[in-house]
Amino acid sequence: MNRNNIFIHVALAIVLILVAAFAGQLNKWRKQWKSHARIVTVEEKKKALSAEDISLSETRSLGAPEILVKFKSGVTQAAIERLTAERNDRVEDRIENAAGWEAIDDFDNADAATLVKEYQQLPEVEYAEPNYEINLEETGAGPLVPILPHDPQFNDQWALANSGQRGGKKGADISATLAWAKTTGSDDVVVAVLDTGVDYNHEDLTENMWRRPEKMDPYRDNELGTIDDENGFNAIDGTDPMDDNGHGTHCAGIIGAEGENNLGIAGVNWKVQIMPLKFMNAGGSGSTKDAIEAINYVIDRKRAGVNVRVISASWGSTQKSRALGDVIRKAYENDILFVAAAGNSSVDNDRNPHYPSSFDVPNVVSVAALDRHDALASFSNYGAKSVAIAAPGVDILSTWLGNEYEEKSGTSMATPVVSGVAALILAENPQMSVDDLKKKLLASTDPVAVLKGKTVTGGRINAAKALGE
Amino acid sequence: MAISKDIAVENARNDLATRLNIDSGDVKEKSVEDADFPDMALGAPEEDEMSGQMITRGWRITLEAQGQTFEYRADKNQVRAYKFNGKNYRI
């Protein structure tokens, strides 16, 4: 072999090594891309286990791998590969951070449901499911897997995931399960529930209740004096803001019943801080003066350092109070959103205003109610100019007094859905101004035909869109 | 303490008798129907009263006295006179 041939062979060898190395890197990049493209941590996969129970109207198949299979512990990789090969399938990928989960590809073009059935019958398999992938196409946020909590009554929460249960319309929900792939909330965000108080000892709420920080001075009210506001504020008599009606507790649960705690329901936020404010009595009504006192309390606490960004107001009347409008404006100046019920009189608020929802103040978001069929609730007020948005508000399951859960209806129930979505947005964007927060909410809807000409946006709030860019 | 339907009707009769300055025996119960009211003030808010916007199950009580009919609204928490001489009253 002459000297030139040696150089040629060495050069060829180097090229081959480089090609092999590049191919290996390509494979690594491909796997890295796949692991980022799908969210497949252990916890999230667990939560997605019952994905077929919810609406999958936004799902689409991206082809291989077709199913995800969890093999029982003790089943070796060799056995898995043998089982798949016997079926003319192959292990396409092992899912990172999820022991036992394999993504399986099929060469026979069988549909995912058939494959799932086939694998579920194997004694080596613990669980199999289709490889659902969901794309928030309108948000550009990339594919996300819906996150489902294990709270036992979650399947009754059609507002969050409408699978058509009890004859409802599939997908007529706020896309909460997709939103949760991005965030389930933050306990840095405080939402004030201005209502009949809140049962802050409720098993599904207690972990998400605001409590005055030890270092913060108790509240001082000009009329009521120094108040022990450890658990919030009672504007009626300065005592404890414990709920003696149930309405406030119901609204609080919609916003932030603790999620994934194996109890009751999940709130729009699994984590959040609910600040209880009581201005309505055991009968569910209160005075304008006490509402104003409570809003002033929120502003005071905000100035003292509490990150309270949303007031949820599931109440109102047709009587206009200029003083109430002024204090809501003061809340706006303190960067606090005010979400208010449009009212339940089946009237047009553009002609027959309902307050506080009809105040022309920049931080006010007026909310109408939808039922499980995406119809405007028969009782709901509306207004092409004065009612901003709609949200589920009929047969809404939430927390009630005495560790109970009840279904209730009203724009009262639709309002905390929107307040909850606002809190989710703030969990992702803590510095967002109140103006931008309101814009974001109003830009985050699914169009609903019956709302055209009935609300400003003509749509139902969509939490997943609200978390998109 | 929760108010029963019977107690609600009795309270309504007594209230109407007082307002009309007549004996409660002269107030007749015309009808009592289950009803869904639009809010927690039972659709009968007093002046300067805000109420929770939740559909509230209760009873519509129609009474008769002095040749006129009068409407009361009640639920487990309250009894209200509806538009008595144009005004609502929580009793």
Q: Which range is least confidently modeled, A219-223, A292-296, B17-21, B51-55? A: A219-223
pLDDT of A327 above 60 = yes
Residue A61 has a pLDDT of 29
Active-site residue set of A:
195, 247, 412
Nearest chain A residue (CA) to B76: A283
Looking at the partner chain, which of B38, B47, B50 has a beta carbon nearest the beta carbon of A344? B38
Residue A54 has a pLDDT of 38
Q: Do B50 and A316 touch (CB under 8 A)?
A: yes
**Residue A301 in contact with residue A293, Cβ under 8 Å?**
no
Nearest chain B residue (CA) to A379: B38
Q: Do B40 and A341 touch (CB under 8 A)?
A: no
Summarised one tens digit per residue, pLDDT across range A134-156 is: 333 344 445 678 999 999 999 99
Summarised one tens digit per residue, pLDDT across range B39-55 is: 999 999 999 999 999 99
Q: Do B53 and A285 touch (CB under 8 A)?
A: no
Mean pLDDT of chain A: 85
Looking at the partner chain, which of A282, A291, A409 has a beta carbon nearest the beta carbon of B50? A291
Nearest chain B residue (CA) to A250: B54
Summarised one tens digit per residue, pLDDT across range A412-454 is: 999 999 999 999 999 999 999 999 999 999 999 999 999 999 9
**pLDDT class of A125 with cuts at 50, 70, 90:** confident
Q: Which residues of A touch B51 (CB under 8 A)?
A: 280, 284-286, 315-317
**Locus of tokens 């062979």:** A9
Q: Do A285 and B77 touch (CB under 8 A)?
A: no
Residue A184 has a pLDDT of 97
**Residue B52 in contact with residue A292, Cβ under 8 Å?**
no
Residue A127 has a pLDDT of 62
Distance (Å) from the alpha carbon of A371 to chain B's nearest alpha carbon: 13
Residue A16 has a pLDDT of 56
Q: Which of residues 34-63 of B touch A (CB under 8 A)?
A: 38-41, 43, 45, 47-56
In Å, how far are A64, A65, A123, A367 from A90, measured between CA atoms?
A: 10, 9, 18, 51
**Residue A263 in contact with residue A163, Cβ under 8 Å?**
no
Q: Which residues of B touch A416 (CB under 8 A)?
A: none
Summarised one tens digit per residue, pLDDT across range A181-239 is: 999 999 999 999 999 999 999 999 999 999 999 999 999 988 888 999 999 999 999 99
User: A41-45 long-range CB contacts below 8 Å, 24 or more apart?
Assistant: A41/A97, A41/A98, A42/A97, A42/A98, A42/A99, A44/A145, A44/A147, A44/A181, A45/A95, A45/A98, A45/A101, A45/A145
Q: Greater confidence, A8 or A220? A: A220
The tokens describing A165, both together, are 């249960």
- Rounded to whole angstroms, the Cα distance separating A336 from A330 reads 9
ipTM of the complex as predicted: 0.94
Looking at the partner chain, which of A284, A289, A415 has a beta carbon nearest the beta carbon of B51? A284
pLDDT of A95 above 70 = no
Q: Which residues, other chains included, contact A395 with Cβ-Cβ below 8 Å and sequence gap of 6+?
A: A158, A166, A371, A372, A407, A409
